[in-house]
């Protein structure tokens, strides 16, 4: 399976962000990708006061990417967006996956919320405006089980083990990882999730400066089950593409059966 991760610099102009996202999906499809993954909050990354109104799963955001999947004939993981939440004060941070016919194949709501205080560097309380999801999600893409996660989930290995035990062979991580933590932790954590769960990892990140005063690390990448980086985006908006070899994955799981050998 050929896959792509798309790296964006989403800002406050939603229409512009969506136009760029569509262009990157077109580049992925032209490169032969069967599945393309977009970053967290692909349609808007800016001041909370200026955020678009939250939508249902079948709202304008979903319709836009369903149409893209259908017209391009590929699987589209639409990063994430602000879905209508459980109360007026909180949304969900939600990923949608669309099949090549435009049908909705999976919905995942971010479980772990980014509540962090790093003196002089990062102050962010995602839980003030976002409600946590409750369910892990593994969905078939071209018959291959895809495990879903979003950004800060990456720091919680028990989630990925649950996805692997649930059958996942690909783990997807749309993200807006901060520069301060990303430069030291992003690749290390992604490769660890790949190695310990013997899965491919597709990580699509936001890159560069965003309002207000936020800088994302980027370095979107595709990693194999041995922890080898197969493809990595440069530090700009763009697409990285790689081929996934599932017979190799099965060989690795057979030769080093760490999933089978685990003791609870």
Q: Which residues pair with 239 in a beta bridge?
A: 6
Q: Rounded distance, CA 42 to CA 65, Å?
A: 11
HSE-CB at 200 with a 13 A cutoff on CA atoms is 24
169 is catalytic: no
Among this protein's residues, is 6 annotated catalytic?
A: no
Task: Name the one residue in this structure whose structure tokens are 């599945």.
Answer: 35
Catalytic entry in 6, 55, 83, 110? 110
**151 included as an active-site residue:** yes
CA distance 58 to 153: 24
The residue from 34, 40, 83, 187 that is catalytic is: 40
Element holding 180 (H helix, E strand):
helix 179-197
Phi, psi of 13 (to 5 degrees): -90, 95
Query: CB of 10 within 8 A of CB of 45?
Result: yes
| Catalytic one of 6, 55, 126, 151 | 151
Q: What is the dihedral of CA 57, 58, 59, 62, to 10 degrees?
A: 80
What DSSP assignment string belongs to 65-106? HHHHHHHHTSEEE---EEEEEEETTEEEEEEEEE-TTS-EEE
Q: Which residues are catalytic?
A: 40, 110, 151
């Amino acid at each position: 399976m050929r896959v792509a991760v798309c790296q964006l610099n989403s800002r406050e102009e939603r229409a512009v962000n969506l136009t760029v996202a569509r262009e990157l999906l077109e580049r992925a499809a032209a490169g032969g990708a069967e599945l393309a993954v977009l970053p967290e909050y692909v349609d808007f990354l800016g001041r909370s006061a200026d955020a678009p109104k939250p939508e249902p799963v079948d709202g304008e955001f979903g319709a836009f990417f369903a149409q893209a999947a259908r017209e391009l004939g590929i699987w589209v993981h639409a990063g994430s967006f602000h879905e209508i939440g459980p109360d007026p004060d909180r949304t969900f941070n939600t990923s949608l996956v669309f099949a090549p016919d435009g049908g909705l194949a999976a919905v995942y709501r971010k479980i772990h919320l980014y509540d962090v205080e790093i003196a002089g560097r990062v102050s962010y309380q995602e839980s003030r405006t976002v409600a946590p999801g409750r369910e892990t999600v593994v969905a078939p893409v071209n018959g291959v089980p895809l495990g879903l996660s979003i950004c800060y989930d990456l720091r919680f290995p028990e989630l990925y083990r649950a996805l692997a035990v649930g059958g996942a062979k690909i783990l997807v991580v749309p993200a807006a990882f901060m520069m301060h933590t990303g430069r030291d932790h992003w690749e290390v954590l992604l490769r660890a999730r790949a190695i310990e769960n013997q899965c491919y990892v597709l990580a699509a990140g936001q890159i560069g400066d965003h309002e207000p005063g936020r800088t994302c690390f980027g370095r979107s990448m595709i990693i194999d089950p041995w922890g080898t980086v197969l493809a990595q985006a440069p530090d700009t908006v763009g697409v990285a593409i790689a081929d996934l070899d599932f017979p190799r994955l099965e060989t690795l799981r057979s030769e080093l059966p760490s999933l089978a050998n685990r003791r609870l």
